Amino acid sequence: MAKEVIIGIDLGTTNSCVAVVEGTSPKILETNDGKRTVPSVVAFKGDEIIVGDSAKRQMVTNKDTIVSIKRLIGTGKKVTARGKEYTPEEISAYILKYIKKYAEDKLGCSVQKAVITVPAYFNDAERQATKNAGTIAGLDVVRIVNEPTAAALAYGLDNSEKDQKILVYDLGGGTFDVSVLDMSDGTFEVLATSGDNHLGGDDWDQALINWLLEEIKKEHGVDLSKDNLALQRLKDGAEKAKIELSSVTQTQILLPFLSMVEGQPLNVDKTVTRIQFEALTKDLLERTRKPFLDALQESKLSASDIDQVLLVGGSTKMPAVQALVKSLSGKVPNLSINPDEVVALGASVQGAILAGDIKGILLLDVTPLTLSIETLGGVATPLIKRNTTVPVEKTQVFSTAADNQPSVDIHVVQGERPMANQNKSLGVFTLDGIQAAPKGVPQIQVTFSIDANGILKVKAEDKATGKSNSITINQSSGLSEEEIQKIIKDAELNMEKDQKVKEAAEVKNEADSWIAILEKQMAENTSIPPDQRVSAQKMIDELRILKQEEKIDELKAKMEAIKTLSQDIAKYAQQPEASTDAQEAEVVNADVEDPKS
């Protein structure tokens, strides 16, 4: 293959997979051993680094073996092996290097570019960390794509002429996502997404492991929950049984010489039925119900509006999962593409689109939470609303909150609450060097841009001087799926209360603006009659007292009176009449405070 290719990689919690488009068809690239997926396992043995099946085979006897590293990526946490600390990005890079190498062997050419997939609810830090892992592995990561979206791309490649609503149910080894997409005229638009970043097939394994531990304790009077070697063998047995129970109604877990009890070998020989297994894992399956329904609600569709339901991830092969999806959607899930491979296939399709090899297909994804900046009174002023299609760029003009303010703090927050301190803080930066001017005069242009990878950049520019500063949200901004769901739920539960808090802040801001206008009018106009001056000062004093005592309704009732008073005073001015509004026409009524005040 002479032309440069862009491979598609599904970097999974349990297993990873790689694909490439040849001609117009995506295909899975097998390992040199003929395997279509690779265990996401890295082991250190002396100076040797082992990846994949070889690493998994020796993990029982090698404590320097790392599994499920995807659960930690973007969190800032580290793992230890050989007495040395490694970041999740470094461990992930070893997996990606291994994939890159065998892809090159299969294709017979150098591979430099890749599309890598992530769970739909990965936050900015997790996406950036995944991209960094690719860079460490020697790959130019040309796009980060959400896993459910990639799955829809793989399905839609042969069905792009049909207008359809697609629901993707993605249960991987360590994460769970549901996405609803609209496929129309070759455009894939994500309408909504929901999920749980800490729920996956590994949890089904763990439920079976816990049952085995209890059975061993009852039969042999020994607790193996702290025996790492025994636990690893139990995990292997549980995973094997889970897979077998997808095609048979009962299976045997045979683990000879699992441990020693009073000098005698402990052998495990347990029969487990599918009914038993489904009873043990019923609560896990139920945890997928709410994200499913939430995604439908967010998309403003009902189950009857969905044309196709796609299953992604090896765990969706479990009959109980398929039965739940069928009952919730009213449709038999589409199993035309292997759930273990569909994400990698879709990633390779996106790579071919970017390379220009596939035309007529456009992918439009969304951002999961509202992005705002903090403005006067602690209000969160939105720039990009939740479920906005990305890539996207939004610009809004703000101003200063005090006269001659030399700098402003730009505080970026994420969430659905109206006050900044109720949302997740993503980062703060300062714009200095603002020219001395009355408050409300400087124009500070703030731009939020989210690229196709879902990574946020914020820029602030003083339009008068051209001075600017910016921030790319870093790893301290991480949000777990639980936090995201809590943010949305809290916003719904506190909607009425939050609205009152926001309204109070806005009324106080408006009062401050009118106080400033009246004081300016009196200072600049010597021809104002004494009785008018007394009335104005009395009004100013009343507003300040009401504001201090948080008497919002009374403060609000004074607004019309103060506007009328200001207009009356303006008649004595030598200059143009005072504005009847408390802000400039082109400037958003949301001033940014001086960080030094």
Q: Pick the catalytic residue from 10, 126, 481, 498.
A: 10
> Helix or strand or coil: residue 218?
helix
Task: Identify whether the C-beta of residue 222 lies closer than 8 Å to the C-beta of residue 259.
Answer: yes
Q: What is the pLDDT of residue 587?
A: 39
Task: Identify whether the C-beta of residue 484 lies closer than 8 Å to the C-beta of residue 493.
Answer: no
Phi/psi-derived region of residue 292, left when phi > 0, alpha when psi is between -120 and 50, beta in every other case: alpha
Q: Distance between CA atoms of 31 and 34, rounded to whole angstroms?
A: 5
Q: Pick the catalytic residue from 90, 147, 340, 510.
A: 147
Q: Distance between CA atoms of 199 and 183, rounded to whole angstroms?
A: 28
Q: Pick the catalytic residue from 89, 126, 170, 594.
A: 170
Largest CA distance in the chain: 106
Q: Distance between CA atoms of 450 and 236, rounded to whole angstroms?
A: 41
- Beta-carbon contacts of 285 under 8 Å, excluding residues fewer than 6 positions away, are 278, 320, 321, 324
Q: Which amino acid is at 572?
A: Y
Token representation of residue 339: 């759930």
Q: What is the pLDDT of residue 520?
A: 80
Q: What is the pLDDT of residue 578?
A: 41
Task: Identify whether the C-beta of residue 340 lies closer than 8 Å to the C-beta of residue 314.
Answer: yes
Express each pLDDT in 489-535 by its tens digit. Answer: 666 676 677 667 767 777 777 787 788 887 887 887 777 888 888 88
Token representation of residue 26: 């995506």
Positions of the chain with pLDDT under 50 = 1, 474-478, 574-590
161 included as an active-site residue: no
Token pair 């487990």: residue = 272
Angle of helix 319-329 versus helix 289-299 axis, rounded to 10: 30
Task: Identify whether the C-beta of residue 473 lies closer than 8 Å to the C-beta of residue 426.
Answer: yes
140 included as an active-site residue: no
- Beta-carbon contacts of 281 under 8 Å, excluding residues fewer than 6 positions away, are 203, 204, 207, 208, 320
Q: What angle do CA 438, 595, 396 make, to 5 degrees?
A: 65
Q: What is the pLDDT of residue 215?
A: 94
Q: What is the pLDDT of residue 560?
A: 77
pTM of the model: 0.67
Express each pLDDT in 138-161 by its tens digit. Answer: 999 999 998 888 998 888 766 656
Q: Distance between CA atoms of 362 and 340, rounded to whole angstroms?
A: 24
- Beta-carbon contacts of 304 under 8 Å, excluding residues fewer than 6 positions away, are 330
For 264, 395, 529, 585, 590, the CA distances from 378, given in Å and listed in that order, are 68, 20, 38, 22, 10
Q: Distance between CA atoms of 267 and 557, rounded to whole angstroms?
A: 81
Token representation of residue 215: 């059975």
262 included as an active-site residue: no
124 included as an active-site residue: no
Q: Pick the catalytic residue from 56, 70, 317, 439.
A: 70
